[in-house]
Amino acid sequence: MSTFALEEAQEQNGRRQALLLLIVAAFVLVNAIALSLAVDGALRWRHLWAPGVWLLLMGAAHLFLHRFKPQRDPYILPLVALLTGWGLVLIDRLAANFLARQVIWLVLGTAVLLAVTILPHNLRLLRRYRYTWLTGGLLLLAATLIFGVNPSGYGAALWLPIPFIGQVYFQPSELLKLLLIVFLASYFDERGAMLAMSRQKGWRGVMTYLSPLLLMWGFCMVLLVWQRDLGAATLFFIVFLALLYMATGDGRYVLAGGGLLLLAGIFAYFAFDLVALRVDAWWNPWPDADDRAFQIVQSLYALAAGGILGQGVGQGFPTYIPVVHSDFVFAAIAEEWGLIGSLSMVLVFLLLAYRGMRLALLARRPFQRYLAAGITILISAQALLIMAGVTKLLPLTGVTLPLISYGGSSMLISSAMVGLLLYMSGAASEIGQ
Amino acid sequence: MKPDASTGKVSQLLRVILAAFLAVAFSLVFWTVLRAPDILARDDNPRLVESELRIQRGRILDRDGRLLAQSARTDGIFGRRYPLPAASPVVGYYSLRYGTAGIEESYDSYLRGENGFWQAQARDLLHRTQMGHDLRLTLDTQLQTQADALLGDRRGALLLLQLGDEAGSDATQILALASHPGYDPNLLDEKFDQLSSAEEAPLLNRVTQGQYQPGLALQPFILAGALDEGSIALDEPVDHANRPVIVNGVATYCASSPPAAATWADVLAHRCPGPMQDLADRVDAAELSTIFAEFGLTEQPRLPLNTETAVSTPISSTALALIGQDTLVVTPLQVGAAWAALAANGRLPNLQLVAATQTENGAWIDEQPPANQTETAVPADIANSIRQVLPAQEGITAFSTLVLSGPDGGTNGWYLGLTPESDPRYAVVVVLENNPNLQEVEKIGQEMLTAVKFQ
């Protein structure tokens, strides 16, 4: 590509991203205004300041990427902007007392996202020290067994208090998600080809290469199950299976893994009350609608109440769903924006998945391919697990909707992942296509 | 760079992701569209209550537009207020926890403003507040208040009717309808358990649902029927008019002393039970049942309130039935309608409680009572001759009696009154339970008629 053509492509990239961001901004601001009118009957600053900050952040991110990453994928930032902006409107709607914190996390997340996009050295540090990164992540996770707390005062103690800053917590399992993907990507980058060839030597040959991998992965799973963070454990398993399938091309791993997941589910059903509750509530929630299945039943009411066009922002009753701002944001979307809104949300995640997997396809190096695919699969699987849980396709797994639900650690790590996608998109050859 | 095995698998994984998102999309359609009507209708759906709280129900007004019920908004939700608790036997109540009663029940969809499918869709789409329509009753706030005060602490019922109006309508409008003991609908939620379990049954509308032994209160109607059948003549002599009748071991006589040479007119005027039993020789059970039916005593009156029909079991003893001590029990409303028929040339009344309804644009439409002009209990001359026989004083024609209420019951006092005497325009029926003081019942009825006459 000539210099002129490259500059032209970069300009076109910038215009495309700017146009999409403007559309997203219009959507977010209109909804913030509608929320203010619905709740207070007038325009109130308390509903507008957060979208204002978001607008500044996204504008800055656009200019930054245009300056430092002109060849990035122009669709990823608008998609992420839509998710985070919509998320802010939702948190204002559902749990306004968490809004300021979420905005702070968004500021930090955007900073991390942009910082990651200009990482030097072709991610060598991530690849070279994969065991160190993962071990660090596991140590942090293990620390929650001793120092872990739950900010809400009940439930699994998955958070570590950040020293010297009062009332701020970090969830190591979120960090571990990214570190595990980096580890798997690095491992398959190095051993993937040998792993594929070792299949000719039978299971013993395969195990030679898989053992370190399984060991590290097993540590993660043990810790997560010990912690009762079953949602994260399920996510890890899915990402692991998907990348293993990418590396080996052998569907039997997926089948065996699926079987193991099912067995683990059956075991968990009998071993953990929480799992039994969720499975029972999923299978037939109606007899226990006022008690153990209250949350899922309220979620189904929210879906039904939304109908096709929705109740309108601020005009439904999604707050009947316990912890709606973290686990059931999708139900709130379905109630207030209707089927149109919830299908749009599905489409946004699908488009993000498409752009991410496209990056994986275009990646020049296997490490980047695994990394892009791993991040995309993780974000997609997380969105799918909670969407399927809310719509009663699957039992609830206790994960949040990435970039939308309330949660600082999730916002930071998801932003870092998106940053990595943008970083890699700048290196892909067919920019702007 | 040589592609490894992973390249081809990326597309497959993307297809899996696509399929999973599609499954979520189908599930969304299933819950938000296909299953939504079933789910939303479930009793434990809190949105039913929430949406109910956001409906501005229409007002209920008296005949002059004075408020009887209205919805007041606080913090975005509406609560029902009843400025005149004394009107609760008619207005009823509206409660999220305990449902509706009275006019609030029978005109519920109207008061809620449910105008049809497309209007509801448009309202939902535009997020407009559901506004109900107003109702104007025939009730008169002052007379209702007075009726309530007249009953006081006594247990009983009072019904005041207006027979036709100045405009020439032949509708019989209900001006006051009181039932004691009653309840304050403003405090219903707090006191419902107490009210519903109370022995004196304050939630029961005694006018429309109280089933009383009629006793000799049936005498004007039975004699009118017998006269119409030709079984008796008013000037026909009656022997031993004041002979006693034994009911449940209690001897009852005429309310006042009849002349020695008494006629059937004297039997009615002096409310003598003895000769009524002799009528069994001339009026058989079938004929008596016909008389009851013709005066509407075995039918459900058409009124937008919960009403009880008389238990129309077959007559077991004609002699007892002729003095109202057989199987037939009646509500004051039924007796009031029969009494109005005697006052209005024998024609059964078109009872009216709702005077007008309001349209969406605020215009009032007069409510037409159900037409039954063709239903005549007895010919006009019979009705008039019976009425003329009844004792009259100060422009009020009245018939009152004490009635033994079953083997274990007490004595109920009945008062049926009409005014003016010559061309009655108002009718009243009063029943006091367990009250052997006939003068007390008569006083209530007379004061009610005097109040309406001089209003």
- Please state, in angstroms and rounded to a whole number, the distance separating the CA atoms of residues A297 and A285: 6
- Please state, in angstroms and rounded to a whole number, the distance separating the CA atoms of residues B2 and A366: 9
Q: Rounded to a whole number, what is the distance in angstroms from the first to the last CA of chain A? A: 14
Q: Which CATH architecture has domain B46-137?
A: Alpha-Beta Complex (3.90)
Question: Residue B386 burial by CB count (10 A; 0-12/13-18/19+): exposed, middle or buried?
Answer: buried
**Do B17 and A353 make contact, defined as CB atoms within 8 angstroms?**
yes
Contacts of B108 (CB under 8 A, 6+ apart): B94, B100
- Please state, in angstroms and rounded to a whole number, the distance separating the CA atoms of residues B417 and B422: 13
Say yes or no to pLDDT of B257 above 70: yes
A398-412, B149-163, B309-323, B332-346: range with lowest mean pLDDT: B309-323
Mean pLDDT of chain B: 89
**In Å, how far from its chain's centre is CA B165?**
21
| CA-based nearest residue to A87, from A320, A311, A332 | A332
**Do A343 and B40 make contact, defined as CB atoms within 8 angstroms?**
no
Say yes or no to pLDDT of B213 above 50: yes
What residues of B are in contact with residue A393 (Cβ under 8 Å)? 23-24, 27
Task: Choose, out of B17, B38, B43, the residue to mutate when testing the contact with A (most A CBs < 10 Å).
Answer: B17
Task: Choose, out of B11, B14, B77, the residue to mutate when testing the contact with A (most A CBs < 10 Å).
Answer: B14
A202-216, B146-160, B180-194: range with lowest mean pLDDT: A202-216
Closest approach of A162 to chain B, Cα-based (Å): 36
Q: What is the pLDDT of residues B260-305, one digit of tens each?
A: 889 999 999 999 999 998 898 899 999 999 999 999 998 877 888 8
Cross-strand partners of B429: B159, B416
**Do A392 and B14 make contact, defined as CB atoms within 8 angstroms?**
no
Residue-level pLDDT at B1 = 43
Q: What is the pLDDT of residues B91-150, one digit of tens each?
A: 999 998 899 999 999 999 999 988 778 887 787 777 777 889 999 999 999 999 999 999
B425 and B455 Cβ atoms separated by less than 8 Å: no
Categorize the per-residue pLDDT at A433 as very low, low, confident or very high, splitting at 50, 70 and 90: very low
Residue-level pLDDT at A366 = 87
For B19, which residue in chain A has the nearest alpha carbon? A350
**Do A349 and B21 make contact, defined as CB atoms within 8 angstroms?**
yes
A80-84, B30-34, B300-304, B448-452: range with lowest mean pLDDT: B300-304
What residues of A are in contact with residue B5 (Cβ under 8 Å)? 192-193, 196, 246-249
AA letter at B399: F
Q: Which two tokens stand for residue B432?
A: 């006091």
Q: Name which residue leads in pLDDT, A120 or B50.
A: B50
- Please state, in angstroms and rounded to a whole number, the distance separating the CA atoms of residues A279 and A261: 14
Residue-level pLDDT at A432 = 38
- Please state, in angstroms and rounded to a whole number, the distance separating the CA atoms of residues A169 and B299: 75
- Please state, in angstroms and rounded to a whole number, the distance separating the CA atoms of residues A64 and A58: 10
- Please state, in angstroms and rounded to a whole number, the distance separating the CA atoms of residues A317 and A54: 26
List residues of chain B with CB under 8 Å from any CB of chain A. 1, 4-11, 13-14, 17-18, 20-21, 23-25, 27-33, 35-37, 39-40, 42, 44-47, 50, 125, 127
Residue-level pLDDT at A278 = 81
Q: What is the pLDDT of residues A147-172, one digit of tens each?
A: 777 776 666 677 777 776 667 777 88
- Candidates B5, B7, B29; nearest CB to A248: B5
CATH fold for the domain made of B141-181+208-354+368-453? Beta-lactamase (3.40.710)
A286-295, B189-198, B335-344: range with lowest mean pLDDT: A286-295
Q: Name which residue leads in pLDDT, B260 or B24.
A: B24
**Do A349 and B47 make contact, defined as CB atoms within 8 angstroms?**
no
Instruction: Please compute, for residue A278, the number of CA atoms within 13 A of its CA located in the half-sphere on the CB side.
Output: 20
Closest approach of B39 to chain A, Cα-based (Å): 7
**Do B17 and A380 make contact, defined as CB atoms within 8 angstroms?**
yes
Residue-level pLDDT at A164 = 65
Closest approach of A321 to chain B, Cα-based (Å): 11
Work out the average pLDDT over A172-199: 80
Residues in chain A: 433
Residue-level pLDDT at A430 = 41
Say yes or no to pLDDT of B2 above 60: no
Question: Residue B193 burial by CB count (10 A; 0-12/13-18/19+): exposed, middle or buried?
Answer: exposed
A47-61, A262-276, B135-149, B194-208: range with lowest mean pLDDT: A262-276
For B121, which residue in chain A has the nearest alpha carbon? A309
Residue-level pLDDT at A112 = 94
Say yes or no to pLDDT of A121 above 70: no
Task: Choose, out of B4, B39, B42, B53, the residue to mutate when testing the contact with A (most A CBs < 10 Å).
Answer: B4
**ipTM given for this complex:** 0.91
A73-87, A339-353, A403-417, B58-72: range with lowest mean pLDDT: A403-417
Categorize the per-residue pLDDT at B229 as very low, low, confident or very high, splitting at 50, 70 and 90: very high
What residues of A are in contact with residue B37 (Cβ under 8 Å)? 304
Closest approach of B193 to chain A, Cα-based (Å): 23
* Secondary structure of residue A357 in the 3-state scheme: helix
- Please state, in angstroms and rounded to a whole number, the distance separating the CA atoms of residues A86 and A292: 30
For A196, which residue in chain B has the nearest alpha carbon? B5
Say yes or no to pLDDT of B230 above 60: yes
- Candidates A192, A307, A380; nearest CB to B4: A192
One-character DSSP codes across B202-245: TTS-TTTT--B--GGGGHHHHHHHHHHHTS--TTSEETTTT--E
- Candidates B6, B36, B42; nearest CB to A192: B6
B172 and B350 Cβ atoms separated by less than 8 Å: yes
Peptide bond into B181 cis (omega under 30): yes
Residue-level pLDDT at A411 = 92
For B124, which residue in chain A has the nearest alpha carbon? A311
Q: What is the pLDDT of residues B316-359, one digit of tens each?
A: 889 899 999 888 899 999 999 999 999 998 999 989 999 999 88
A406-410, B58-62, B86-90, B222-226: range with lowest mean pLDDT: A406-410
Q: What percent of chain B has pLDDT over 70?
A: 95
What residues of A are in contact with residue B10 (Cβ under 8 Å)? 246, 357, 360-361, 369, 373
Closest approach of B20 to chain A, Cα-based (Å): 7
Q: Name which residue leads in pLDDT, A252 or B334.
A: B334
- The torsion defined by the Cα of B153, B157, B159 and B160, in degrees rounded to 10, comes to -20
Work out the average pLDDT over A282-295: 85
Most confidently modeled range among A188-197, B145-154, B242-251: B145-154
Say yes or no to pLDDT of B372 above 70: no
- Candidates B10, B23, B29; nearest CB to A339: B29
A175-189, A329-343, A419-433, B273-287: range with lowest mean pLDDT: A419-433
What residues of B are in contact with residue A366 (Cβ under 8 Å)? 4, 6
Say yes or no to pLDDT of A368 above 70: yes
What residues of B are in contact with residue A328 (Cβ under 8 Å)? none
H-helix segments, A319-365? 329-362
- Please state, in angstroms and rounded to a whole number, the distance separating the CA atoms of residues B399 and A91: 74
Work out the average pLDDT over A10-22: 88
- Please state, in angstroms and rounded to a whole number, the distance separating the CA atoms of residues A405 and A324: 9
Say yes or no to pLDDT of A128 above 90: no
Say yes or no to pLDDT of B369 above 70: no
- Please state, in angstroms and rounded to a whole number, the distance separating the CA atoms of residues B56 and B72: 8
Most confidently modeled range among A211-220, B20-29, B94-103: B20-29
Q: Residue-wise over A385-415: b if at least 16 C-beta within 10 A, else e?
A: bbbbbbbbbbbbbbbbbbbbbbbbbbbbbbb
Say yes or no to pLDDT of B155 above 90: yes
Task: Choose, out of A301, A335, A347, A351, the residue to mutate when testing the contact with B (most B CBs < 10 Å).
Answer: A301
Residue-level pLDDT at A277 = 83
Closest approach of A119 to chain B, Cα-based (Å): 22
Categorize the per-residue pLDDT at A338 as very low, low, confident or very high, splitting at 50, 70 and 90: very high
Using N-to-C axis directions, what is the helix angle for A408-427 and A172-198, rounded to 10°?
Answer: 40
Residue ranges of domains in chain B: 46-137, 141-181+208-354+368-453
Work out the average pLDDT over B152-168: 87
- Please state, in angstroms and rounded to a whole number, the distance separating the CA atoms of residues B151 and B430: 9
- Candidates A245, A290, A384; nearest CB to B9: A245
What residues of B are in contact with residue A206 (Cβ under 8 Å)? none
Closest approach of B16 to chain A, Cα-based (Å): 10
What residues of B are in contact with residue A320 (Cβ under 8 Å)? 46-47
Neighbours of B306 (CB within 10 A): 14
Neighbours of B30 (CB within 10 A): 15
- The torsion defined by the Cα of A195, A197, A200 and A201, in degrees rounded to 10, comes to -50
**Do B32 and A377 make contact, defined as CB atoms within 8 angstroms?**
no
Instruction: Please compute, for residue A306, the number of CA atoms within 13 A of its CA located in the half-sphere on the CB side.
Output: 31
Categorize the per-residue pLDDT at A431 as very low, low, confident or very high, splitting at 50, 70 and 90: very low
